[in-house]
Structure 1
Amino acid sequence: MKICMIGTGYVGLVTGTCFAETGNDVICVDIDSAKIDQLNKGHIPIYEPGLDEMIKRNMNEGRLSFTTDLAHGVQASLFIFIAVGTPSSDDGSANLSSVWSVSREIGRHMNGYKIVVTKSTVPVGTTERVKEIIAQETREPFDVASNPEFLKEGAAIDDFMKPDRVVIGTNDPRVTELMKELYEPFVRTGKPILAMDIRSSELTKYAANAMLATRISFMNEIANLCERLGADVNLVRRGIGSDPRI
């Protein structure tokens, strides 16, 4: 399939490269011309085990390219993934200015049916707003979807190539089937593709992050108790971790 990955940060670079690895044609787009120049020279801006070799292999085989030309990426692709940064603002909310800007540019350059997918971590309702912004810029047909990432730094390629699950949020059965087809090579081990509505998909990412943070905070508190009471936190961790309900 033809894919445009907008944003070559950690998520965009790993995701785009892994899609290329399974035979898709991927164009990675970034506004940072210096970064694109370095990528085209084979210089990878992040360290992730195995990523360097995978990028070079797929570039050499013609499945992966890097450009600052967003119009070219959009017009050459069916799937357009938004993987730009959403840093925290001073008040703690997600700064979505890059998402909105990219959405406008996508709408201005559409030349036929597209599926626009939010890959960035975004608040509930963002994908619907992306749809509204694109619709203001084009009369071309398109659909939107949510597809949150669950990557760990240092194990991102394995996480993507052999995921625990793939979450797809759409409100259209046709989009669901196309997304399932795109991800089919990654779930041959039997792991599930979980199709749901867009808002549930967006919230799943935040809920997963919150649950992981809660587990860490809880064990930190247990460690403090162990220190005060003379217990061994590692033994306590093994004791509670052996319970299949936990």
Structure 2
Amino acid sequence: MYELQLTIDEYHLFVALPDSREALGNTAARTYLGWNRLRYDRARAGLLEKQLVVRARGRGGALRRAPVTDDSDVSVDDAACSATIRPPVAETELYEPILATLKTGWAEDRGFNALVIEETAHQGRRPTGGYWTRPDLVAVGMKTFKHVPHQQFEIVTFEVNPMAKLNVIAVFEALAHRRASTHAYVLIEMRNELTDAYVETLGNVQQAATEHGVGVIVFDDPADYETWEEVVVAERSGTPPEMLNDFIETQVSQPGQQTIETAIARGRCSVAG
């Protein structure tokens, strides 16, 4: 838990909003508080910046309380005029459930015969070519097609972005990965209750991703593939085989490399036979 200190006006505006998280119009809230527009707008902007409220639809605009996590409410200290909230989910806490979903729902939906799907973000002192060349997660495998006998080798990278840290930098990190893989994605945590607060930022991310051939997947629950949505499809890059091979040697774990090598050798034997 951590504490956000509110101004007196931010506190009064926050407690004026319904606990049920129903929307309250800006005009109605301002009238109820007896404030002029400047005073109201200042308090409103402060609460939006602290992510304690989100914009809602309504004539003249509206606000509603925003749950900081799905399973907890904001605790308000009336005496101190402060709000205590649970911290946002750490990026590393998203890796495990995302990996599980990549291995199941995502792989099945994509027609992806996975050889290796693993975390690559934490590789200690292992030389990987620099910070931006190291993706958070990687999937290596063969993509199959329903009506085409040919299989396509793919290296798909993923840059994980928690909602609280959402910005276009993630796209450029993914772009660095794309140069040495076949597809690059940004995976964005986007909790349904808070989506309205990030519409503009998400739009900027999608535009930048589209311009650079990077894919974007948003999800509400990292462990539930039914909440995943591919809002921008990643374009296949023209990365030469030599660079793909180098990527595997520098980014994939030794056990993963062995799995890939064995699978490729087996495939060559079956073709030769």
- Shared fold, TM over 0.5: no
- Structure with the bigger RCO (C-alpha within 8 Å, sep 6+) is 1
Q: TM-score, normalised by structure 1?
A: 0.25
TM-score (norm 2): 0.23
Specify which structure has the higher proportion of helix. Answer: 1
Q: Which has the higher strand share?
A: 2
